[in-house]
Structure 1
């Protein structure tokens, strides 16, 4: 009789342990799903360099060294807001990214969950070989610019904020003889480094999987 009692006790303890492990595993999984974050998507929707428009021969256009651009910031998270520090934009001409031709700073702001923000701006370019750039779009296929973006972001989860995370992205923008970017749709600014959130997610998922097994 005592043996049967001990067996039932062991079975009961084993069942409770299994339920605890499974419950803890699912709790960890749901917690990760609730706390995981993804960085905003940054893109250049419009890009126009008037002086490279070879069909406009007016004096104003020929002396216009401005770059008009439309920056889009998309927070695709449905339950978390994003706070941006000041956003630094750097413009380059050609492959040489050591000599910027223009800089612009967008003041920091808060973006709600699932929201999109557009910044239609203009910046004055300096030190750009305009004659060579004009010849490229007139006689060649295009001129190439590069846009770099850097800032720090914090994610708002319910009523508190996460630590600041670096957001450094960039992309080449090809400009044709109309002075506009060649690609009609928005150009996504991309990072050269992998997202740390993905590695964290895989680690947490592995822990949950081991717990369930």
Structure 2
């Protein structure tokens, strides 16, 4: 006795099983994307496309320094957008000695929204309120860039997450060559961020 096969039922069962397996595999991925999102990453290219001259004039008169920068902000989440609800403050400083951090300039970045997996470049220039000196006992000018702000995931009920990040950029005083080229990742600052901050002294070499 021949038995007939209901191909429609077989196909329907196959589809249900495939969808179930797909959800079983995708569910942990989706949970990970939405329940444990990544924090954004930040990096900076200091003196971006800028010809440096770190020497002062012969008469040792006060001179300001223009700092060109390219700040990269990356949303590492493929499924969640980010809000930066507050102004982001960027501070440019340098070390005249190992116990002092002298402020050169500040830059404010207004609040904005960043889409899923998007990166944003903020390119700008700041005029400093003084001229940096070499780190005492070296032939290096050691700059520091600090970033302070907050972000919020585009999810219902999420709160602000504050961040305070920084990085160092060394420049050879004699050659004006940077010790690090390209973008430098910004990380949570160490003890150097807790040093006494003051305006740069007007001293000669």
Q: TM-score range by the shorter chain?
A: 0.5 to 0.7
Give the aligned partner of residue 8 of structure 1. Answer: none
Q: 1:156 aligns with which of 154, 157, 161?
A: 154
- Calculate the TM-score normalised by the size of structure 1: 0.61
1:78 aligns with 2:74: no
TM-score, normalised to structure 2, is 0.63
Aligned to 2:44: 44
Aligned residue in 1 for 2:34: 34
Please give the per-residue CA displacement for 1:108-154, whole angstroms capped at 9, x wherever unaligned.
Answer: 111111111001111111144x4x34xx7xxx542100010000100
Cα RMSD after superposing both structures? 3.4
Q: Which residue of 161, 166, 173 maps to 1:165?
A: 161
Offset of 1:98 from its aligned partner? 5.1
Question: Relative to structure 1, is the Cα distance of residues 97 and 114 closer, same or farther in structure 2, using a 3 angstrom cutoff?
Answer: farther
Instruction: Confirm or deny: 8 A CA contact 2:167 2:186 kept in the other structure.
Output: yes
After superposition, residues 61-140 of structure 1 pair within 5 angstroms as 63=63, 65-84=65-84, 85-94=86-95, 95=98, 99-128=102-131, 130=132, 132-133=133-134
The runs of 5 or more residues in structure 1 that have no matched partner are 1-26, 194-213
Candidates 173, 182, 187, aligned match of 1:190:
187
Contact 1:149 1:170 in 2 (8 A): yes
Q: Relative CO higher for 1 or 2, CA cutoff 8 Å, sep ≥ 6?
A: 1
Relative distance call for 1:99 and 1:142 in structure 2 (3 A) is closer
Unaligned runs of 5+ in 2: 1-26, 191-205
Cα distance change on mapping 1:35 and 1:172 into 2, 3 Å: same
